């Protein structure tokens, strides 16, 4: 009898059932938040605070040399006032900036 109770208790706990609970298990509830996409705000990299390593990792077509150029420009000229200011960094062209607009933030 104790074995049967233990099995039933285990089965109920694995199914997410709790006594007095009328709520559906988490897997059956509708999502409260939309699924975040790759270009969500949290996945953007700040050109004003990111390290060269972070920039190289997050940006498409930007390796360590171009990422270091971004950091050097920032240190020499101050913070970027807009994402479009990246076009002023030597070695970064319009195409490269356009390709990464969805990954950038100030």
CATH of the domain at 56: 1.10.150.280
- Residue 71's domain spans which residues? 41-105
The better pLDDT of the pair 61, 37 is held by 61
**Residue 32 counted as domain residue:** no
62-80: average pLDDT? 96
**Residue 78 counted as domain residue:** yes
**Residue 24 counted as domain residue:** no
Count of domains observed in the chain: 1
In this structure, which long-range contacts are made by residues 3-8, counting pairs with CB atoms below 8 Å and at least 24 apart in sequence? none
**Residue 3 counted as domain residue:** no
pLDDT tens profile 7-38: 666 566 666 555 554 555 555 555 554 443 44
pTM higher than 0.75 for the full model?
no
């Amino acid at each position: 009898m104790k074995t049967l109770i233990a099995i039933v208790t285990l089965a109920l706990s694995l199914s997410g059932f709790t006594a007095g609970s009328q709520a559906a298990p988490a897997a059956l509830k509708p999502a409260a938040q939309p699924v975040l996409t790759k270009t969500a705000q949290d996945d953007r990299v700040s050109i004003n605070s990111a390290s060269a390593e972070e920039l190289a990792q997050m940006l498409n077509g930007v390796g360590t040399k171009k990422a270091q150029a971004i950091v050097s420009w920032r240190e020499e000229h101050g913070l970027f006032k807009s994402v479009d200011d990246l076009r002023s960094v030597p070695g970064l062209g319009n195409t490269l900036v356009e390709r990464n607009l969805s990954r950038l933030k100030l």
